[in-house]
Amino acid sequence: MLHDLFPPGIQHALDLAGIFVFATSGALLAVRKNFDVFGIAVLALVTALGGGLFRDLVIGAVPPAAFGELSFFVTPLLAAAIVFFLHPEVARINRLINVLDAAGLALFCVSGTTKAYEYGLGLTASAALGVATAVGGGVLRDVLVNEVPSLLRDREMYAVPALVGAALVAVFLGMGVLTPLTSGIAVVTTFVLRLLAMRYHWRAPLAWNRRSSVAEEP
């Protein structure tokens, strides 16, 4: 299938790794918000699976992969359990989690775009759903904890790398040259751009010529 960028076993392992990392970030936020064990599990599930669920429902891939593959549902619960018992230790490796999160972002924006295209969407719509696959879970997570979604205040350029990766896939699809190699180029480009944004604190531009006396909200 087109959205299988790598051999099935490797693709499945990468999907699970991305789900685990996203779930861990959601569970850690739940701990910081003093959620109970149920809240930790819910936030882990929403963060890990929300983007993929949205994509599958839009393109009509039902039941969504999250419900058709038991490991996709169990993996976030495993991450939530680890964070519940070991959150001080997990928090200490936050930098590593951020790097893995960048890898998950890169993989999901590319696989999400190709899967949407395979289900008959145009290039632009496929790229949009690729971005939604990568960042949708984070948006739902932020809404549930009553925070402004990071997508709307793209500090350290979280959504922009996903947009670049999805756009690259759309270009490759339009040119008829989407292969595991070119898909890998899109993944690596997204991953490196996200790492550079974290390293140098890049962010998307604010409103042009903004001169408001009101300080930006934290």
Q: What residue segments make up the domains of the chain, in order of their start? A: 8-200
* pLDDT of 186: 94
* pLDDT of 151: 80
Q: If you average pLDDT over residues 7-13, what whole number do you get?
A: 75
CA distance 110 to 209: 34
Give the number of other CB atoms < 10 A from CB of residue 26. Answer: 31
Range in 105-109, 176-180, 207-211 with the lowest mean pLDDT: 207-211
Please write the tens of the pLDDT for every residue from 115-141: 999 999 999 999 999 999 999 999 999
CB 49 within 8 A of CB 79: no
Regarding predicted confidence, which is higher, 159 or 94? 159
Residue 166 CA, distance from chain mean position: 12
CA distance 118 to 115: 5
Q: If you average pLDDT over residues 74-91, what whole number do you get?
A: 91
Q: If you average pLDDT over residues 198-212, what whole number do you get?
A: 79
CA distance 34 to 37: 10
